[in-house]
Chains A and B, each alone.
Chain A
Amino acid sequence: MEKIPILRMGPFLLVTIQVDLYDRLALNLEADLIKTISDTNAKGVLIDISVVSIVDSFMGRIIGNIASMSKILDAETVVVGMQPAVAITLIELGLPLTGVHTALNVERGMELLRAKVNLDDYSSSEDEDGYEPDDQRDY
């Protein structure tokens, strides 16, 4: 099954959405991300949507869900690279992306996460229980 890769960058996770998401793919991403956050003790999630041309209420809800679930797991979510036309449309649609921070690009998003997150208590779960991401373990 097609899958959206989740990249691990230290205490943060990076997801780049490359295609206009099919619904099932989007739901899988939501589940995968939540699992990866809890497995890796990640402190932040960056969702890069710079090549996404349409965000409707379904996609918006998925992003919102990811943000609120992450929050429960003590991680912040930043959506980066939203196209101006998408941002304008979301406002008119009336979609509240509550709990979601936004940034211009991945670098800015990382800065924002670093500023928001207290990394003092971050200990990579690798140190504790030798966690390896699924995709490494599989090969």
Chain B
Amino acid sequence: MTIHLAKMRMGMSQMISVITKQSMLIQQDQDVVPFRNRVKECAVKLKMGLVNQTKLITAASELVRNMLKYGRGGQVVIEAVSKRNQFGVRLIFIDKGPGIPDIALAMKDGYSTGKSLGLGLPGTKRLVNEFDIESAVGVGTKVSIIKWCNG
């Protein structure tokens, strides 16, 4: 338990170097597919396997949809990153929407304020290796995820 907590606390800030970085504005539904294609290109360059690629792009799709539906659109940063000898893709979703009042609740399977399935956030967390969410009411929401090539 102690070890587990220590690991969690180290989080993703630990010695991650950014290899490439690009950013994209997301403002409408039509931006989703081109964005997914960019993520795929990045993953392919790092020779990420097909299953991990699929998990990453699906997670990306969920978060970008949330950003459009609840956050009035925003910005995504797509990065190829490395940590020790691992390579992976990091995505950072930033919106200036209403924010999430109760993150723990929003992370629960089945919780939705949009009459939807409520599995975007918890499902995304399961699909990636590192998941970080910060949100402030009235300010916006920032979600960062990393999928490691061998993760």
**B55 adjacent to A95 (CB under 8 Å):** no
A24 interfacial by beta-carbon distance below 8 Å = yes
- CB-CB under 8 A from A22, the residues of chain B are 29-30, 32-33
The answer, among A24, A54, A61, A92, for a CB contact under 8 Å with B117, is A61
Kindly state the interface size class of chain A when it binds its partner. Answer: 20 to 34
Kindly state the interface size class of chain B when it binds its partner. Answer: 20 to 34
Q: Is the interface of B mostly helix, strand, loop or mixed?
A: helix
Return 5 A-B CB contacts under 8 Å, by A number: A57-B120, A85-B51, A88-B55, A89-B127, A93-B119
The answer, among B29, B55, B57, for a CB contact under 8 Å with A24, is B29
**B33 adjacent to A20 (CB under 8 Å):** yes
Given contacts A23-B29, A58-B65, contact A92 B123 (CB under 8 A): yes
Q: Which residues of A approach B to under 8 Å, CB–CB?
A: 20, 22-24, 53-58, 61, 83-86, 88-89, 92-95
- CB-CB under 8 A from B62, the residues of chain A are 56-57, 93
Once the chains are docked, how many angstroms separate the CA of A86 from the CA of B65? 18
Once the chains are docked, how many angstroms separate the CA of A101 from the CA of B126? 25
Given contacts A54-B58, A54-B61, contact A92 B119 (CB under 8 A): no
- CB-CB under 8 A from A86, the residues of chain B are 54
**A54 adjacent to B54 (CB under 8 Å):** yes
Nearest 5 Cβ contacts at the A-B interface:
A93-B123, A85-B54, A56-B61, A23-B29, A85-B51
- CB-CB under 8 A from B29, the residues of chain A are 22-24
Q: Which of B56-84 contact A (CB under 8 A)?
A: 57-58, 61-62, 65
